[in-house]
Structures are given as structure tokens and as C-alpha cells.
């Protein structure tokens, strides 16, 4: 077997096989489809592309349909009150950037439009003011008193944990004239005419960031082709995608270890380089048995681009992405560094975290595809940003029309999450009669029963919480005990990193089963409540952050058992549940998988238990320690500490 083919198989296990990439992409697409709201969601970045690399954030784009962009006044289709029309002005901007102005006869007089007055400077929309407005909105959404906890990264807003980046953008439905030459320029075979037509039909986006250093930077918006770029990346064959991933790993895990070279080469540059490579190359070269020469060609092209400070924007080549990117010293150092890596061949990855064992090319010849698939589905459904998808009717429609087993399985698992979410969003009407309440009770119960298909435990715990809220403590306890019996060693848990050998062997024996069946039988997830969820115990009506934080399944089970026994009342069993809760909590503390915020929340729950049984000193100790760990005062620990003498 050739070295290139061995390297390809090694990369499939380290970075992801075609099947694994397909699961990642489908999960993100289904998550996007399941979101219901005024703005379309588009998962972008590495995770949206099907790559799960170390240090990758979860990037989400939202299209703001309160605005619509047109290239000229002549293109406008008047629809008064539906959106605010904006016109492009590119006379005073660099290629790939534009200013956006209001129509001459448009005043922001409607009540729905008045809140947007402050993002305009005169008649022009300010990208800077738009970002600041979004920052204020996110502070409100996340329940954060200080906007300092919400950060702006370029055109994006980051959540308090800095695990997700959100980019709100505006849209023009038509392909703009600046990018018209891309459609007709000479190329080999990629992208195909069908792909070009599909891309052109998507229009373009505008993200709130101006050309750095420009005199009117705060009025400029960058023209974004993110949707087009995602379509192009989805058209890559697997060798091409692996080359792209290798470039990202090389830059992130090797080049950027040198402090002087940090942030000089970003993923967008590498993506652009790959587009040019594919457009200009012979498609027959991108084969598994040519894996190494293909990657080395990409690295050689990167060296050339840096050396000559030239990397043209793929859709608007008048814009040189490397213009003034490097001073002479950094350009020389970057070029020298990359040439040194090129001379090492594939062993340039010896210092990377992901591919450190490249020298041995060690891959598991008995690697189980089903094990990798279930592990990937589990990882992705734990990572997607949105709370369990809410638009379950849309997901039902796509499930019925799914053509492959993999897509059906992912839709089914995501639908189970959606059904868990529905009862949490529905509230009792203020004057609802008994018949209506009974109907709602049966409907919520049905949703939660369907939700038990998400995994082995979580759906059952949410159902137990539902029965607890309705005062059916004995049935709740039966379900809790059933769920705890399913928390066995062969299950895959959220805090677990990969599969152990026993789990892989078990999955190999079950490789004929559907992915959704294995997900239900084999995985355990974190129970999640939305803020003010009607199925969450009233004792746990915590702050927004506490309630939206996923609970450790076993800890939540023992906490809920404690509450059930307290209300029965069975004091002996109640104290036994408290002991089990404390033991599980201590195991969690020593597992190395916890963070200060999660510990603060769990200490608050423990304090609630002590407070309920009258052990005030222990309760105050828990609340005090929780408030110390709560650096940004996001939990209710400090408030509970001050009120601890009264329950």
C-alpha cells in the first residue's frame, strides 16, 4: 500500500471519514432547519463545513430580514412596512466593501422601525452602531448586567462563555455586479455550471465590519459570500476537504505556536486558496493515492501567496486579501517558516496536537465505522448551539422525505429533542378551564414520551420532572429509578472523550442497527431546561443562566429524588437521596470534567436541599462557596445566601 494511501486512511480516522463528515454536516443543517424565528440561521465555520478541529468555535450566522439590500434604486420592489430597503454605494470604498444608505423618500416613522434610528449616521447604516446594538441585545438575551461579558470579534458577537460566535448579516437576493465576472471567467471543470447557477441564486450577504483603517470604516459593510463558500466546500471531494483541513491544522497548531506569526494566516485565506487550487487544477489529481502530493501542492501555493503578498478574493479578484497584510519582516519570517515545514513533508505535523503521531501513521485497521458514526452524532448533537429545535413540524416533514438511513436517523434524534422542548415553551392560559388544562397535560406528556427516544436517560428524567411538577411523586420516582438503572458503564456520557475499547467492541457487534436506535440505547446526554420552563421543579426556578445550563444527569436524578421524597414526605429516603447526591457531586468534582460555573450551579442545588430540611449552616456554606465561584454574578447563589435564614 502506498504512503499516500496510508496517510489518507490515517487522516480519515483523525479528521473524519466521508460518513463522519456527512453526519456532522447533516446535523448542522437539521439544526438550522429546526430554528423558528424572524431570522434564518446558517451554521458556518469549521463545524458547519463538517470539520471538528481543536480550538474551533461554533459559528452561527443569522440573516436579519428587517432590512433588504439592493444594488440600485431600480431593483427595488416596493413592499412598504415589510422591511427597510437599503441601497449599495461603492464609489468611496475598497473592493468587497460597500456603504448602505436609506432610500431618499424613506423615513423611519413606523413604530417597528423607530428602534433602528440609532444605527444610522445621517442616511447611512453604520456597521459599528449595528454591532453595538446587537451587543446590547445579546446582553439582555443572556441576562448579563454588564455588556463587558459579551465580546465583539470582528463582525461577530460572542456568548459569555466564548464558545459561540454569532454574526448578524443583511441580504441582497440578487448576485451583485462586482461578482458578475466570476460567473463567466475561464476555468477547467470546477465549479460546474449547475453549481454556479445554484450559488448565483443565493445572492450575497453583508456583515457589519468595514475596511480596516479606512476613513469611513464605521459606515462600511463587508460583502460576504458565506453561503456560496459553504456550497463550494460541500462540493469538495474527500481528498480536497482533507487538504483544506490539513492547512488549517498546520496554521493553527504549528505556525501560530510562534507568537510573531499569530493571527497572520486565518481560515478564510486557506479557504480562498483552496478555491483557486480547485478551479485551476486537473480534477483527476485529487485521489486518495495522491494525498501527499495534493497537500504539498496546496502548501507550496500558500508559500507562493505569502512570498508575493498576493491572494486574490475568489469572487471579487480586485480585492487582494494579502494587501498590506505583512510587513517585510513578518513576510520573510512567515515564508521561511512555511518553507521549512514544506521541506519536512508530511512530518511537518510532528508538533501538532491532532496529528502528532504522523511519523508512525498509526491507524486502527479494525476501526469500526459505526462506532465513529455514533460518536460523531453524539458529539454534534451536544455541540449545536440552538436549544432543542423548536420547529418540529418542519422536521417531521423532512423526516418523511429523507432518502438515506443517516439523514433519517439524525432527523429522528433531533425531533426527539424538539418534542422535549415543546412542553417547556407552552404556558397555561391565565383563565384556562379544567378541560383545557387536562388537554395540555396529556399533550405535554405525549411530547415528553416521544422525547425519550433522544438517548437512554435524558428524556426519562424530563418526564420524571414533569410528573413531579404535577404532584405525581411516586410515578416520578419510578421513572427516576428506571433512568438511573440505565446509567451503566458501557454508555457514552457527555464528559467522556472518545470511546473505550469495550464500547467500540459492543458497537461493532451492533453494526446492523440504525444510528438512531444506537443513539437511544447507547448514549446519555445532559437534561436541559429553558428559562422558566413549566416542567422544571419550582425549587429550581433559578436564574436564566442556571436554568439554561445542562445538568449532570445522575446529579439531577438524585436531586429530583430528594424533592419527591421531601414532599411525600419520607424523611429517611429524603436524606438517603441527599447522601447519594453529595457522593455523586464529589465524584464529579474529582473527575476533572467540571468548570467553576457548573460547580457553582450544582452547589446552589445542594444548598437548596440543605435549606429545605432546615440545615441552615450547611446551606449557607454551599451558597457562599457557589457565590465565590460565580465570578460574574450569573447565578442566584449570592441572593440565596442573603435570604438563607428564611425558606
Is residue 53 in a domain? no
Going by C-alpha positions, the residue among 250, 246, 223, 245 that lies closest to residue 233 is 245
- Same domain, residue pair 177 and 273: no
Cell of 572: 429517611
422 and 503 fall within a common domain: yes
What is the share, in percent, of the chain residues with pLDDT greater than 90? 46
pLDDT, residue 555, reads: 92
The predicted pLDDT at position 366 comes to 47
Same domain? For 539 and 622 the reply is yes
What average pLDDT does this structure show over 391-413?
Answer: 75
Same domain, 392 and 324: no
How far, in Å, are 67, 76, 81, 301, 367 from residue 109 at the CA level? Answer: 15, 19, 10, 53, 63
pLDDT at 199: 97
The confidence band for 596, taking pLDDT boundaries of 50, 70 and 90, is confident
Q: How far apart are CA 318 and CA 312, in angstroms?
A: 7
Instruction: Give mean pLDDT, residues 117-124.
Output: 86
Q: What pLDDT score was predicted for residue 223? A: 97
Q: Say if residue 158 is in the same domain as residue 263.
A: no
- Per-residue pLDDT, 39: 62
CA distances to 209, 221, 537 from 129, in Å = 10, 12, 41
The enclosing domain of 284 has a CATH number of 1.10.1410.40
pLDDT value of residue 644: 80
Ramachandran angles phi, psi of 536, nearest 5°: -90, 135
Give the pLDDT score at 363: 52
Same domain, 487 and 619: yes
CATH number where 507 lies? 1.25.40
Instruction: Give me the pLDDT at residue 299, please.
Output: 97
pLDDT at 520 over 50: yes
CA 103 to chain centroid: 36
In a domain, 368, yes or no: no
Least confident of 9-13, 25-29, 140-144, 486-490: 140-144
pLDDT of residue 21: 92
User: Per-residue pLDDT tens for 319-367?
Assistant: 999 998 999 999 999 999 999 999 999 999 988 999 888 767 655 544 5
Asked if 420 and 557 sit in the same domain, the reply is yes
The arithmetic mean of pLDDT across residues 241-261, rounded, is 95
What lies within 8 Å, CB to CB, of 161 at 6+ separation is 597
Which cell numbers in the block locate residue 542? 433559578
Q: Of 165, 315, 162, 164, which Cα lies nearest the Cα of 226?
A: 315
pLDDT for the residue numbered 547: 58
Residue with the three cell numbers 445538568: 551
Q: Look at 140-154, 230-244, 562-576 and tell me which has the smallest mean pLDDT.
A: 140-154
Instruction: Based on the fold, state whether residues 392 and 352 are members of the same structural domain.
Output: no
Whether 15 maps to a domain, the answer reads no
Nearest of 450, 506, 458, 508 to residue 479 by alpha carbon = 458
205 in Cβ contact with 40 (< 8 Å)? no
CATH number at residue 152: 3.30.460
Q: What is the DSSP string of 406-426?
A: HHHHHHHHHHHHHHHHHHHH-
Q: Tell me, what's the pLDDT at 647?
A: 45
How far apart (Å, rounded) are the C-alpha atoms in residues 171 and 223?
Answer: 10
How far is residue 474's CA from residue 579's CA, in Å, rounded to a whole number? 20
Residue 491 lies in a domain: yes
Cell for 249?
Answer: 491544522
Query: Which element (helix H / strand E) includes 477?
Result: helix 473-485
Whether residue 33 is contained in a domain is answered as no
pLDDT at position 545: 59
Among 132-141, 162-171, 295-304, 554-563, the range scoring the smallest mean pLDDT is: 132-141
Q: Which residue has the cell 446526554?
A: 525
How high is the pLDDT of residue 386?
Answer: 47
Instruction: Of 5-14, 296-305, 502-511, give the lowest mean pLDDT range.
Output: 502-511
Give the number of domains in the chain: 3
Distance (Å, whole) CA 316 – CA 124 = 24
Q: Quick check: bond before 497 cis, omega within 30?
A: no
pLDDT tens digits for range 201-249: 999 999 999 998 888 999 999 999 999 999 999 999 999 999 999 999 9
Window from 12-21, 185-194, 364-373, 599-608 with minimum mean pLDDT:
364-373
Confidence grade of residue 398 (pLDDT, cut at 50, 70, 90): confident
Residue 555 grid coordinates: 446529579
Q: Does an H or E element contain 62, and which?
A: strand 58-63
The Cβ of residue 312 has, within 10 Å, a number of other Cβ atoms equal to: 17
pLDDT given at position 544: 57
Is residue 371's pLDDT more than 80?
no
pLDDT reading at 539 higher than 80: yes
Please report how many Cα atoms fall inside a 13 Å half-sphere around the Cα of residue 459, on the Cβ side: 27
Banded model confidence at residue 475, pLDDT cuts 50, 70, 90: very high
Of the candidates 533, 388, 380, the residue with the CA atom closest to the CA atom of residue 459: 388
Spell out the residues 6+ positions from residue 174 whose beta carbon is closer than 8 angstroms to its own.
Answer: 70, 71, 75, 203
3-state secondary structure of 315: coil
- Give strand pairing partners of 391: none
Q: Which domain holds residue 182?
A: 63-230
pLDDT for position 146: 45
Residue 38 lies in a domain: no
- In this structure, the answer to whether residues 500 and 560 fall within a common structural domain is yes
Beta carbons of 124 and 112 less than 8 angstroms apart: no
Q: How confident is the model at residue 556 (pLDDT cuts 50, 70, 90)?
A: very high
Mean pLDDT of the chain: 85
Distances (CA, A) of 102 to 90, 120, 126, 172, 303: 14, 9, 11, 14, 44
Rounded mean pLDDT of 42-69?
A: 86
Q: Is 54:252 a contact under the CB 8 Å cutoff? A: yes
- Whether 457 has a pLDDT exceeding 50, the answer reads yes
More confident residue, 273 or 526: 273
Question: Is the torsion defined by CA of 324, 328, 332, 334 positive or negative?
Answer: negative
226 and 246 housed in the same domain: no
Q: Which long-range contacts (CB under 8 A, 24 or more apart) does 536-543 make?
A: 536/424, 536/465, 536/469, 537/465, 537/468, 537/469, 537/563, 538/469, 539/563, 539/608, 539/612, 540/605, 540/608, 542/601, 542/604, 542/635, 542/636, 543/143, 543/634, 543/635, 543/636
Residue that is last in its domain, among 230, 255, 279: 230
User: Could you tell me which residue, 310 or 145, shows the higher pLDDT?
Assistant: 310
Phi, psi of 592 (to 5 degrees): 80, 5
Q: What is the mean pLDDT of residues 393-398?
A: 71
pLDDT at 105: 77
The whole-angstrom separation of Cα 464 and Cα 444 is 12
Report pTM: 0.80
**Mean local confidence (pLDDT), 52-60:** 80
**pLDDT grade for 382, boundaries at 50, 70 and 90:** low
Q: How confident is the model at residue 147 (pLDDT cuts 50, 70, 90)?
A: very low
CA end-to-end span of the chain? 71
Q: What percent of the chain has pLDDT over 70?
A: 83
Amino acid at each position: 500500500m502506498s504512503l499516500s494511501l496510508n496517510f489518507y486512511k490515517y487522516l480519515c480516522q483523525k479528521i473524519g471519514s466521508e460518513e463522519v463528515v456527512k453526519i456532522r454536516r447533516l446535523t448542522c443543517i437539521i439544526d438550522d432547519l429546526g430554528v423558528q424565528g424572524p431570522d434564518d440561521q446558517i451554521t458556518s465555520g469549521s463545524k458547519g463545513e463538517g470539520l471538528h478541529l481543536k480550538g474551533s468555535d461554533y459559528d452561527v450566522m443569522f440573516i436579519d430580514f428587517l432590512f433588504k439590500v439592493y444594488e440600485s434604486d431600480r431593483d427595488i420592489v416596493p413592499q412598504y412596512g415589510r422591511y427597510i430597503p437599503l441601497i449599495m454605494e461603492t464609489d468611496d470604498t475598497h473592493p468587497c466593501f460597500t456603504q448602505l444608505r436609506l432610500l431618499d423618500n424613506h423615513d423611519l416613522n413606523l413604530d417597528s422601525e423607530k428602534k433602528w434610528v440609532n444605527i444610522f449616521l445621517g442616511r447611512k447604516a453604520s456597521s459599528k452602531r449595528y454591532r453595538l446594538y446587537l451587543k446590547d441585545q445579546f446582553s439582555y438575551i443572556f441576562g448579563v448586567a454588564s455588556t463587558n461579558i459579551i465580546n465583539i470579534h470582528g463582525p461577530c458577537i460572542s456568548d459569555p462563555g466564548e464558545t459561540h460566535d454569532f454574526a448578524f448579516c443583511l441580504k441582497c437576493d440578487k448576485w451583485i455586479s462586482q461578482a458578475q465576472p466570476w460567473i463567466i471567467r475561464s476555468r477547467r471543470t470546477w465549479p460546474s455550471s449547475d453549481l454556479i447557477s445554484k450559488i448565483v441564486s443565493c445572492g450575497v450577504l453583508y456583515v457589519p465590519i468595514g475596511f480596516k483603517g479606512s476613513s469611513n470604516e464605521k459606515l462600511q459593510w463587508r460583502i460576504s459570500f458565506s453561503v456560496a463558500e459553504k456550497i463550494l466546500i460541500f462540493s469538495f471531494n474527500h481528498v480536497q476537504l482533507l487538504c483544506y483541513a490539513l492547512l488549517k491544522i498546520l496554521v493553527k497548531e504549528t505556525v501560530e505556536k510562534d507568537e510573531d506569526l499569530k493571527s497572520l494566516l486565518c481560515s478564510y485565506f486557506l479557504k480562498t486558496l483552496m478555491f483557486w487550487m480547485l478551479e485551476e487544477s486537473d480534477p483527476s489529481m485529487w485521489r486518495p493515492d495522491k494525498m501527499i502530493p495534493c497537500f504539498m501542492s496546496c502548501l507550496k501555493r500558500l508559500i507562493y501567496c505569502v512570498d508575493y503578498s498576493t491572494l486574490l478574493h475568489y469572487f471579487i479578484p480586485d480585492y487582494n486579501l494579502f494587501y498590506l497584510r505583512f510587513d517585510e519582516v513578518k513576510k520573510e519570517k512567515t515564508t521561511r517558516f512555511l518553507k521549512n515545514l514544506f521541506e519536512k513533508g508530511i512530518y511537518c505535523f510532528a508538533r501538532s496536537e491532532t496529528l502528532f503521531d504522523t511519523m508512525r501513521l498509526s491507524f486502527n485497521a479494525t476501526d469500526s465505522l459505526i462506532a465513529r458514526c455514533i460518536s460523531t452524532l453524539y458529539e454534534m448533537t451536544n455541540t449545536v448551539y440552538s436549544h432543542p429545535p423548536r420547529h418540529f413540524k418542519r422536521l417531521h416533514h423532512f423526516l418523511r422525505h429523507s432518502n438515506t438511513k443517516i439523514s433519517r436517523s439524525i432527523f429522528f434524534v433531533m425531533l426527539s429533542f424538539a418534542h422535549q422542548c415543546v412542553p417547556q415553551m407552552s404556558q397555561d392560559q391565565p383563565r384556562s378551564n379544567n378541560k383545557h388544562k387536562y388537554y395540555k397535560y396529556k399533550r405535554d406528556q405525549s411530547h415528553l414520551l416521544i422525547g425519550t427516544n433522544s438517548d437512554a436517560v435524558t428524556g426519562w428524567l424530563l418526564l420524571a420532572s414533569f410528573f413531579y411538577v404535577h404532584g405525581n411523586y411516586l410515578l416520578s420516582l419510578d421513572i427516576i429509578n428506571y433512568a438511573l438503572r440505565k446509567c451503566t458503564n458501557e454508555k457514552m456520557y457527555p464528559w467522556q472523550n472518545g470511546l473505550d475499547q469495550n464500547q467500540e467492541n459492543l458497537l461493532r457487534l451492533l453494526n446492523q442497527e440504525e444510528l438512531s436506535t444506537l443513539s437511544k440505547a447507547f448514549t446519555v446526554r445532559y437534561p436541559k431546561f429553558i428559562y422558566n420552563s413549566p416542567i422544571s421543579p419550582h425549587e429550581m426556578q433559578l436564574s436564566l443562566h442556571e436554568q439554561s445550563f445542562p445538568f449532570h444527569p445522575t446529579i439531577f436524578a438524585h436531586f429530583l429524588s430528594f424533592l419527591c421524597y421531601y414532599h411525600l414526605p419520607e424523611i429517611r429516603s429524603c436524606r438517603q437521596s441527599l447522601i447519594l447526591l453529595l457522593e455523586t457531586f464529589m465524584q464529579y468534582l474529582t473527575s476533572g470534567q467540571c468548570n467553576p460555573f457548573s460547580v457553582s450551579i450544582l452547589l446552589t442545588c445542594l444548598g437548596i436541599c440543605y435549606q429545605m430540611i432546615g440545615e441552615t449552616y450547611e446551606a449557607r456554606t454551599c451558597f457562599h462557596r457557589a457565590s465565590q465561584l460565580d465570578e460574574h454574578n450569573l447565578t442566584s447563589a449570592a441572593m440565596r445566601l442573603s435570604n438563607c435564614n428564611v425558606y
